[in-house]
Amino acid sequence: MRYLITLVVILVLCPVMAQETLPPPGKQKDSAQYRKQNIRQSLAKGISEPVNKIEEYKIISYTRDTTFLDTTLTIQKEYTYNYLRRDDFELMPFANVGQPYNSLGVDLTRPNLYPKSGARARHFNYLEKEDITYYNVPTPMTDLFFKTTLEQGQLLDAMITFNTSPRFNFSIAYKGFRSLGKYQFNQVESGNFRTTANYQSKNNQYTLRAHIAGQDILGEENGGLIVKELQFESEDPEFRDRSRIDVFFTDARNKVLGKRYFLDHRYVLTRKKDSVSDSSLGIGHEFTYETKYYQFQQDAQNKYFGEDLFSPIDDKAYLKTFFNSVSLDYSNRFLGTVKGYVNWFQYDYYFDSLLITEEGTIPNQLKGNEIAVGGSYKKRIGPFSLDGNLAYGITGELTNYIFDASAKLKLNEENEVSFSAHASSRKPNFNFLLYQSDYANYNWYNAETFEDENVQRLQFDLNSQVWGDLTAQYTVTDNYTYFSSNANAAQVAEGEANAFVTPKQEGNSVNLLKVKYRKEFRLGKWALNNTVMYQNVTQDSQVLNLPQLVTRNTIYFSSDVFKKAMFLQTGVTFKYFTAYNMDAYNPLLGEFYVQNQEELGGFPLLDFFINARVRQTRIYLKAEHFNSSFTGNTFYAAPGYPYRDFVIRFGLVWNFFS
């Protein structure tokens, strides 16, 4: 009842607050015309809500793609209204907000040349440089994201951006989060600070983008449930209070902390533009300096991880990276854009101590310099566009090459097809190559024995307003690198599988076919939105486990209410994935590892939502996993780690302008 009362209060107050959220009069001539156009398009589709994209409020990505502020309320906004602020269709969350996500689907391609530090299960909320956006706005703009969490905590992401002049923009943002969770020793908290600058000179010859980011993610780790059959799966009323369920330990925690400084600028050396030609020659420079560490601490040794060398446990892996890229680009109306560049990557991955054992010495550092050369090409010819990039490492041990190419054809206003290819070869992440721990079994050095991972992928995309969106990709991976446990059946039964987790490489090829289809059907104010994904893995050993089928189907109703003062959207989302050998979670490494003893999945997840929009404010209320009480306690996100029970959560996204 208290949630319903809170929602009513918010719904009443928002029309009052929103009266001052519109941009000042006289500054939206173009965007007003844009909205009128989209109103006609919306009415033609049977939707009374206008598509409120405010053209002058520009959002610029790392790759310089520009989009506009969008204050509409759509089903895609419902899918992205979560802790990550992106669609989590291919992810399976743990019980508490902010914990790791298991993978229901994977993309084995690499976005860049160089390995990451590791602990990837703790990095879902870590913003890489490719995730930072830049802005250009006519008036100051604020974006507020708020959502309740699970017990004693909240989630707030606040950003303000403004132009000090038509050519210089500044933004500052902070995402703060804390959630206690329902189980013992399950608290998670994080902070993501970032500030950006975006500048273009008056004659457009010089452009600059820069950001500073400071991030920390801290989580308590309980190791999962000890006697899940008796205390969880049995549905014993005594354990409906999840804090009564026994967990493996209550003294362990891990942390990711990172700081980054980024600068990307370009100067046009020459430019010629007339009725015959349009060409330019420019020089660019990109710089990134980032420091990061991953830490695991435990007050005392626990057999869950095996025998210890020292106690209390305090493992800490550091990574410092320094990246410089100098480029020269030439653009011509007939030739397209050609770019050549040289990259210099300096890395220092290290631990505080050197480990000497009877088997030998495990070093405490991987340090070196990588130099790579590359080029890219872009060209658009009417409805056809071509994009390619190739980089090749000429010195260093980490990377070999990366190649990406795509061709896109716009058939008409409603249909577009594209083909793309990817190939890369580089070392796996640093924690596969070197790791040191106060636990004896978690010490290894593989930098000289592990081979480069080789990935080749072909992909076809169809984006159609008539037929839906289809993505089909086929990926072949050689030397696939993964974590798995060497524990026998008895050790697994005793809960000691994590004590024997080590990195491995698969000698044979791993082939993945992945097909994803998205389509929405409409009838008046009702709609059925569908996303279906099929995956098939061909492999000699079970090293990559994925569900064969994942589906998400949402039936919902949309309409204006209260004399069009509010736009309302309500419905039910059904999500399901077939049973498979779901990866297990290792809290010491902050990684998932392959297990083939326990098959999980095959259970439905049902969410009921009521969302509303009042001018620039979107309000969200959701009953998550409301079927948990009558479909049985078989819902796991990983072996020993349940998904969350039924919970009601609410929040809002509010844009306002000065």
- For 241-291, the pLDDT digits (tens) are 999 999 999 999 999 999 999 999 999 999 988 766 789 999 999 999 999
- Residue 10 confidence (pLDDT) above 70: no
pLDDT by residue (tens digit) across 490-507? 898 888 999 999 999 999
pLDDT score recorded for residue 379: 94
- Which range among 297-301, 490-494, 599-603 shows the weakest confidence by mean pLDDT? 490-494
Q: Examine residue 312 and say whether the peptide bond preceding it is cis (omega within 30 degrees of 0).
A: yes
85-102 average pLDDT score: 96
pLDDT score recorded for residue 355: 83
- Residue 400 confidence (pLDDT) above 80: yes
pLDDT by residue (tens digit) across 426-465? 999 999 999 999 999 999 999 999 999 999 999 999 999 9
540-563 average pLDDT score: 96
Residue 13: its H or E element? helix 2-18
pLDDT-derived band at 489 (thresholds 50, 70, 90) equals confident
Other beta carbons less than 10 A from residue 556's beta carbon: 20
Q: Which residue has the higher pLDDT, 3 or 605?
A: 605
Q: Residue 100: is it exposed, middle or buried by C-beta count within 10 angstroms (0-12/13-18/19+)? A: buried
What pTM was estimated for this model as a whole? 0.90
- Residue 55 confidence (pLDDT) above 90: no
Q: Residue 333: is it exposed, middle or buried by C-beta count within 10 angstroms (0-12/13-18/19+)? A: exposed
Read off the amino acid at residue 174.
Y
385-409 average pLDDT score: 96
- Residue 21 confidence (pLDDT) above 80: no
pLDDT-derived band at 389 (thresholds 50, 70, 90) equals very high
- Residue 13 confidence (pLDDT) above 50: no
- Which range among 119-128, 190-199, 486-495 shows the weakest confidence by mean pLDDT? 486-495
> Phi/psi class of residue 46: alpha, beta or left (left: φ > 0; alpha: ψ in -120 to 50)?
left
Work out the percent of the chain whose per-residue pLDDT is above 70: 92
- Residue 598 confidence (pLDDT) above 80: yes
- Structural fold of domain 2-273+281-657: Maltoporin; Chain A (2.40.170)
Distance, CA of 648 to CA of 626 (rounded, Å): 9
- 84 touches 99 (CB < 8 A): no
Average pLDDT, the chain: 90
576-602 average pLDDT score: 96
> Phi/psi class of residue 245: alpha, beta or left (left: φ > 0; alpha: ψ in -120 to 50)?
beta
pLDDT score recorded for residue 549: 98
Distance, CA of 301 to CA of 309 (rounded, Å): 9
Domain ranges (residues) in the chain = 2-273+281-657
- Residue 542 confidence (pLDDT) above 70: yes
Distance, CA of 455 to CA of 407 (rounded, Å): 20
- Residue 15 confidence (pLDDT) above 50: no
- Residue 318 confidence (pLDDT) above 70: yes
Read off the amino acid at residue 82.
N
